[in-house]
Amino acid sequence: MGSFKAIFKIIEDNSCPLYKLEERFILSEKALTFPKDRESCLILVREMTELLFQLLDERGQTGSGVGDDRIYTCSGCTGLIKFIQVGEEDEERNTHQVASLDAEQKLLLSKLSASSLVKAFPQDQVGKFIHCLSVRIVQAGSCIIAKGEINDHLYIILSGEVSVEDDTVKITTLKEGDVCGEMSYFGNKIARSSVRAIRPTRVASISGDDFGQLMSQIAPVQLFMARLLAERLARANTVRTREFDACMQGRIKEMAPAELFQIFHMHQKTGSLILELSMGTAKVSFREGCIINASYADLHNQDAIFSILAEKEGVYRFTVGLTPQEMKAAEIGDFMMLLMEGVKRVDEENEAEGSLS
């Protein structure tokens, strides 16, 4: 009877602190081999030792060392994994994909081994991912992705440094191992920000179609990309809001009151808009984008809003925050109804003036 060897693949990962989906263990009569670069779990060692004696006993009874469809469980710490026994041909496919890489691709795999995206791929899928990558160098000052243009690739930075920008607003800086292009890839393929090389930068790219096919089959990669997208959206919104707050002052002729109101409503701003207009100072207070009070000259609330919307000259500034009393105040009316009625009145007044002239 030959030596015993069993290969196990993880099919379910419920917050295991050490191992992840699709990783493999190799159990023999003499040793338990863990996935590459993974620590040894003493709980798993104990349970796999018990399983070894069970499988050896079954092998002695049946004369076969091949596993079946049974699902095994390791638990007892902060997480849990479930795994099944697979045949050696499955493991051979896993190693064949990496072995089929040429020298340049193997060097690329070595370079990307620390990337969080690559770590999300199961071992038997990494080779497919590397096969799909192409590499290029981007000179300092050049765009990898241009805002407003179509982008259907995902990029991983191999070396160098890039700046993610929304016009004049710098959102973040990305370095070696970071991913970019996900915002447009998961949207309508129109880039919402520009990615510009700060210094000569080497990037690996994969087409959206190729990455989509891989990701659709691999739950850990889907989860990684979902978390990355949420993190990037939150960061971008924070930076844009901070810049928005800092720059909210200007002249009415450059941004009409109706546009200002829509911006505050869309961004769910809380604070006071102060306007210096032809008949004096006007004030409009917003709570999470809703108008809760307004005053202009001797006018208040809706009448004040309608009068402010008709102004064409003046300056404005926005101050963040409201008093406790203002935070409890009721809305003066539905925002869109107020805006539409005000714009309608302005149009009617303009038409009347035009007919008189």
Check if the beta carbon of residue 130 is closer than 8 Å to that of residue 108. Answer: yes
Check if the beta carbon of residue 101 is closer than 8 Å to that of residue 130. Answer: yes
17 phi, psi to nearest 5 deg? -75, -10
Residue limits of CATH 2.60.120.10 in the chain: 102-241
Q: Where are the beta strands (DSSP E) in 147-192?
A: 153-159, 162-166, 169-174, 179-180
Which amino acid is located at 153 in the chain? H
The Cβ of residue 157 has, within 10 Å, a number of other Cβ atoms equal to: 23
Query: How high is the mean pLDDT of the chain?
Result: 84
Sheet holding 5-14: strands in order across?
32-33, 24-28, 5-14, 80-86, 72-74
Report the topology of domain 102-241. Jelly Rolls (2.60.120)
User: Rounded to whole angstroms, what are the CA distances from 197 to 92, 160, 205?
Assistant: 40, 8, 15
Percentage with pLDDT > 90 across the chain: 28
Whether residue 183 has pLDDT greater than 80? no
Q: Which residues pair with 291 in a beta bridge?
A: 286
Task: Give me the half-sphere count of Cα atoms (radius 13 Å) on the Cβ side of residue 209.
Answer: 0
Q: Which 3 state secondary structure label does DSSP give 86?
A: strand
Whether residue 343 has pLDDT greater than 70? yes
Contacts of 12 (CB under 8 A, 6+ apart): 21, 80, 81, 82
SS3 content of the chain, % helix, strand, coil (to 5): 40, 30, 30
Q: What is the dihedral of CA 20, 67, 93, 226, to 10 degrees?
A: -20
Contacts of 124 (CB under 8 A, 6+ apart): 22, 90, 93, 94, 97
Residues 271-330 pLDDT 10s: 999 999 999 999 999 999 999 999 999 999 999 999 999 998 999 988 888 888 889 999
Whole-model pTM: value is 0.49
Give the least confident one: 61-75, 123-137, 250-264.
Answer: 61-75
Q: CA geometry: angle at 334 spanning 328 and 336, to 5°?
A: 135
Instruction: Quote the CA–CA distance of 112 and 124 in Å, as a whole number.
Output: 16
Residue 95 vs residue 16, higher pLDDT: 16
Name residue, tokens 């993190």: 231
pLDDT-based confidence at residue 137 (cuts at 50, 70, 90) = very high
> Which of the residue ranges 34-38, 210-214, 295-299 has the most confident prediction, judged by mean pLDDT?
295-299
Q: Which 3 state secondary structure label does DSSP give 78?
A: coil
